[in-house]
Amino acid sequence: AILCVCFAPTAARPGILEIKAYLNGVDTPNMYGATTLMVKIIGSIGAVDAGLDLGKEGLPVHIGSSIASLLGQGGPDNYRSKWRWLRYFNNDKDRRDLITCGASSSVCAAFRALVGDFLFALEEVATWWRNALL
């Protein structure tokens, strides 16, 4: 809880509702930043170690979306470690597509279901579906 209060308050929520809100057009500042990603990873490790019930879907979806968003931005801003070859995806349309793919692939990894990956992306996450995602 201290990590969420001090470093990344946006990491306190499960993340699926925020992902759906972002894909519908609501822009939450620092929702997919590197600090939020690290706090989510460290917090989930600590919560599982403490024996808390986290659910199977919420954390992997937000972590997968954060990784996809960071790749779409060209890498983290810290220490000037931007990757030049990833700057081609630095617009909102491609970032939404990458976040959709990151969320659905994390559901695929959590439940070990390849068809469920596609159906989750089609039904739950993506409000504007592009045929290029197929």
Q: What is the pLDDT of residue 105?
A: 82
User: Residue 88 CA to chain centroid, in angstroms?
Assistant: 19
Q: Domain limits of the chain?
A: 2-133
Average pLDDT, the chain: 76
Q: What's the rounded Cα separation, in Å, for the pair 45 and 126?
A: 28
pLDDT category of residue 134 using cuts at 50, 70 and 90 = low
Q: How far is CA 104 from CA 5, 29, 59, 108, 134, in A?
A: 28, 22, 12, 6, 12
Task: Determine the average pLDDT of the residues in 12-30.
Answer: 79
Identify the CA nearest to 127 among candidates 29, 21, 27. Answer: 21
Q: How far is CA 23 from CA 39, 58, 74, 118, in A?
A: 22, 16, 19, 16
Identify the CA nearest to 37 among candidates 5, 4, 6. Answer: 4
45 pLDDT higher than 80: yes
Summarised one tens digit per residue, pLDDT across range 54-107 is: 777 777 888 888 888 887 776 555 545 566 666 666 677 778 888 888 888 888
pTM: 0.75
Which tokens belong to 84?
């030049």
18 pLDDT higher than 70: yes
Share of the chain above pLDDT 70, in %: 77
